Structure 1
């Protein structure tokens, strides 16, 4: 029974959040945050937080600086990373994300820019996409101008803009997909091109089941409920091109603006068949880049982030590092 002072619930995504009819958002889950470090003892990776715009900030990761003691002209691949969390939870500064990207920066020997974008439902889509693009353009802007006090020195000194990568997990993989599409129609500063993209356990959905997806599961799935909270006004609901890249109204996958693409899936992930279908659809679209797929058996959604010490997680880290290292 609702008290006189308590607004009725309009929608909820338990155990994460609840939205009241007056628009008030109750966040029931808040991630544990990790501070940046200039003395990461386990990996040797340095990190720091920066502000990109009034809406967007990020955490930067730089591999062990002792490697540059004798060669300060050495350049590193750049990875612009978008975290997961259904567009409505998690953070670039969470302990899970920090631990994961320390590993990727170390193993791939890459400069990582982990983007903290605005979350729904306070900021429904396309806010996250706009923030993601702002961050990508900010990174690219460092490729052409002389360094000034407002610029990020790590990007100027160590970033190789001929090896720019984007990537993400779950909702972050969805964002990376849309950034690759946008980069095919809008130029990045300095003419920078995206060399590669990785999509891990991408969050795509739709009204028609694919593969082994249950026929009667569509609108009762947490995936559906999440989508309706983060993009409540989406035309065509779960068949909006933001969430369903296979509908006729979605941009052609042949236009993806990168030269390499890897899709990572896990056999026990309910999004597994979507990821496989995405791989096949890109191949059949006529896209001319290098297309790869990496599947891990016996694991579920985001296993490598939640259980990073397992052998399967270590194998996945190794594969992602190899992808970023490959020229």
Structure 2
């Protein structure tokens, strides 16, 4: 009798299983939910899905805070957001991120674009980086008033563009800021600030509280080998290790402000502090801030938005510094 059981090539439990026939089984993630074009009942935020590019397919979830007749044409800060999920699961359209962005947009009063980039292992890195750069270029293309998205044209304040993301999304934020320091965005648009939340960064050399034993077999390494197996230098590739061989100087980060957030109980806490210290010592001329919440774990503010600590994280000063209250 022939067995129908498929052979597993690799798995990272409890998240994903990849079979030798190339099929992929995602074991964890949240449900995809529709946008709320007529305003979310809890926050008053309107949202919609848009297509940025057809080939490759890049889409996004747009969020607009509740506006009054008086503020209908108000120019809002723009936040381009990159979700987490290790580059291989989660979605800009998931219930988790839809709820989080609704809450964030209502609190901070920004126009947000949450990017749906391609996921590994079907689309290995650097696909996600390329998609997110294309999304940034698409946003910037509206600055001259001739784009196709009316929310951006009518309400986008292109002098105040921020990029933000959590975990793998924070890794994307770092890499977008590095690229923006080398390449120009459409019409010379500049990134004002970057919000780096619980960043997924790593290296072959353990730091601080990280265990030396089994370091090269940690989940962070397993994920990297899954999502970017061809990366030159492996886990010391500059897109994961900002001080790895050949890494560009952090002095060239293409933003004027940076907020790095970490959580006290997060296994990636020390990496966030490591990154902030590197930025601070690099000669970068921008303004940086490190914000730590003690006693909390990885992405607590996204999974449990109702807690007091999560509410503190979402206050205006901690997300986009120096913005006026709505």
Report the CA distance between 1:11 and its aligned residue. Answer: 0.8
Alpha carbons of structure 1 residues 282 and 4: separation in structure 2 relative to 1, 3 Å: same
Q: Which residue of 1 aligns with 2:202?
A: 205
TM-score of the pair, normalised by structure 1: 0.94
Is the deviation greater in 245-254 or in 28-37? 28-37
Is residue 17 of structure 2 the alignment partner of residue 25 of structure 1? no
Is residue 83 of structure 2 the alignment partner of residue 83 of structure 1? yes
TM-score of the pair, normalised by structure 2: 0.95
Q: Which residue of 1 aligns with 2:62?
A: 60
RMSD (Å) for aligned C-alpha atoms = 1.7
Is residue 312 of structure 2 the alignment partner of residue 315 of structure 1? yes
Of residues 192, 195, 202, the one that matches 1:195 is 192
Q: Which runs of 4+ in 1 moved over 3 A?
A: 3-7, 319-322
Count residues in correspondence: 321
Alpha carbons of structure 1 residues 30 and 278: separation in structure 2 relative to 1, 3 Å: closer
Distance in 2 (alpha carbons) for counterparts of 1:231 and 1:6: 27
Is the deviation greater in 237-246 or in 264-273? 237-246
Report the CA distance between 1:103 and its aligned residue. Answer: 1.4
3-state DSSP of counterpart to 1:238: helix
Give the unaligned 5+ runs of structure 2: none
Q: Deviations over 1:196-220 (max 9, x none)?
A: 0000000001110111111113123
Of residues 248, 253, 262, the one that matches 2:250 is 253
Alpha carbons of structure 1 residues 248 and 235: separation in structure 2 relative to 1, 3 Å: closer
Distance in 2 (alpha carbons) for counterparts of 1:282 and 1:270: 20
Distance in 2 (alpha carbons) for counterparts of 1:21 and 1:320: 45
Is residue 123 of structure 2 the alignment partner of residue 126 of structure 1? no
Q: Is the 8 A contact 1:77 1:324 kept in 2?
A: no
Distance in 1 (alpha carbons) for counterparts of 2:70 and 2:25: 52
3-state DSSP of counterpart to 2:206: coil
Q: Which residue of 2 aligns with 1:264?
A: 261
Q: Which residue of 1 aligns with 2:47?
A: 47
Q: Deviations over 1:137-181 (max 9, x none)?
A: 00000001435xxx0000000000000000100000000100001
1:1-327 pair list within 5 angstroms? 4-37=3-36, 38-54=38-54, 55-66=57-68, 69-147=69-147, 151-318=148-315, 319-323=317-321, 325=323
Distance in 2 (alpha carbons) for counterparts of 1:58 and 1:90: 13
Report the CA distance between 1:326 and its aligned residue. Answer: 6.3
Distance in 2 (alpha carbons) for counterparts of 1:172 and 1:295: 18
3-state DSSP of counterpart to 1:248: coil
Report the CA distance between 1:323 and its aligned residue. Answer: 2.5
Q: Is the 8 A contact 2:92 2:115 kept in 1?
A: yes
Q: Deviations over 1:24-75 (max 9, x none)?
A: 2122234212221122121111101101112110000000022xx1244420
Give the unaligned 5+ runs of structure 1: none
Q: Is the 8 A contact 2:237 2:245 kept in 1?
A: no
Distance in 2 (alpha carbons) for counterparts of 1:13 and 1:71: 48
3-state DSSP of counterpart to 1:65: coil
